[in-house]
Structure 1
């Protein structure tokens, strides 16, 4: 999960003077393959709620393209400082609600479920296209907390939407010349391998294990984003 943070940190360390849009575009060129591979593997083993997910993914695509267009025009410094605080809130809430996400009990059905999923897809799509780090974790958290999914089904659903948001941002940023393909394709190989391995482990061990991984990933994101925001 959140391979984008690792690759983003590596690129920033090697190319500190590069435009943020170029680093984001190069990250997307790598992360989309791992996300798509995980989504395909999840969809074969998890009963996906496609009626709600496809509209949500399409709105996520639109939102991400708008966000990616925005990052070529405006800096995202305000989000850089807000992100660790928001992630800390997500972590504390998850830790306080020990049973959250252990049982799969969707709260909505029909149009209500589609509307809720579309709201998640559009909002996180905008964020993912504009900024990126933590998007997968936010998707999982919202599907668990708001939609009533367990962590396994939430992760599977998040991968579907995240694949479309990555694709949208990549298309726009590539069209504007903000992708270093020679770096992105090399990183994509490692991204796919890690995603496939992580998905197999998640499917084997279930929602309880995914919850633990989610907590670990969000904790690491808090440390990483806090250092980026306040110590540099």
Structure 2
């Protein structure tokens, strides 16, 4: 590995940690950089290695949110316990099946999401729904299973999809949605990491320095998001979703 590769990967990890802490989607920076700078490694090894810094950054971001945002721990416990095996299952499925067939579908979904978020100015600006406990739990189970599988099977934009799910389905504002998304994302990342450790796909000499940089970015990003509030997070959300949209458009039409 050339001497410049690891510093560039660490810089990408810092930027990814910052963006992921605000609204998710840090994988849009970290994953392409890893695949470009480590072309001689199997894709599964690159993805497995990058899951470690992703987990690290999310952990530090989650800690910052926990200090400022009130969370429903009973609901989160259910979601995290289900998200872990769902991501593990998704990563297992990835070792047998290509995920390319999902990308055109996601391209359409993301296009509609950008238009809706841009047009609806109050989207995610305040808590709108008062749901019964039973409804909340049912929604939480569905979110955890579907997005947990997605994270293990595809990955990019998982944090953003979690934020959307918490806003649209659970009725949270952007700040509370981001805080809860971090906790669930921890579980999905951990589920994938367990599989990749079992398969021997993680290069720790790369993963650990990147993890430190991603954690620093996550810590800083969470502090900025908490201080700036919902309007700032909404702008970042639009930027990241558009970035995700362009990524899938490239995969579908030009790759």
Q: State the shift of 1:214 in Å.
A: 0.6
Which of residues 211, 214, 217 in structure 1 aligns to 2:237? 214
Aligned to 1:22: 45
Q: State the shift of 1:17 in Å.
A: 5.3
Which of residues 200, 225, 236 in structure 2 aligns to 1:177? 200
Aligned to 1:192: 215
Where do residues 5-16 of structure 1 align in structure 2 (5 Å cutoff)?
5-16=28-39
| 2:78 equivalent to 1:55 | yes
| 2:55 equivalent to 1:39 | no
In the alignment, structure 1 segments of 5+ residues that lack a partner are none
Q: State the shift of 1:228 in Å.
A: 3.4
| 2:105 equivalent to 1:82 | yes
TM-score by length of 2: 0.86
Q: Over residues 120-159 of structure 1, what are the superposed CA-to-partner deviations in whole Å (9 max), with x where a residue is unaligned? A: 0111000001110011110000111111100000000000
SS at match of 1:48: coil
Judge which range, 160-169 or 14-23, deviates more: 14-23
Give the Cα–Cα distance (whole angstroms) in 1 for the partners of residues 112 and 44 of structure 2.
28
Give the Cα–Cα distance (whole angstroms) in 2 for the partners of residues 59 and 28 of structure 1.
19
| 2:138 equivalent to 1:97 | no
Aligned to 2:161: 138
SS at match of 1:114: helix
**Which aligned runs of 4 or more in structure 1 are off by greater than 4 angstroms?**
none
Q: RMSD between aligned alpha carbons?
A: 1.5
Give the Cα–Cα distance (whole angstroms) in 1 for the partners of residues 219 and 252 of structure 2.
31
Contact 1:52 1:118 in 2 (8 A): no
TM-score by length of 1: 0.94
Contact 2:62 2:183 in 1 (8 A): yes
Judge which range, 169-178 or 153-162, deviates more: 169-178
Aligned to 1:69: 92
Contact 1:21 1:71 in 2 (8 A): no
Contact 2:62 2:179 in 1 (8 A): yes
Q: Measured at CA, do residues 5 and 127 of structure 1 come closer, stay the same or move farther in structure 2, by a change above 3 Å?
A: same
Contact 2:56 2:215 in 1 (8 A): yes
Q: State the shift of 1:51 in Å.
A: 1.8
In the alignment, structure 2 segments of 5+ residues that lack a partner are 1-19
Give the Cα–Cα distance (whole angstroms) in 2 for the partners of residues 93 and 75 of structure 1.
30
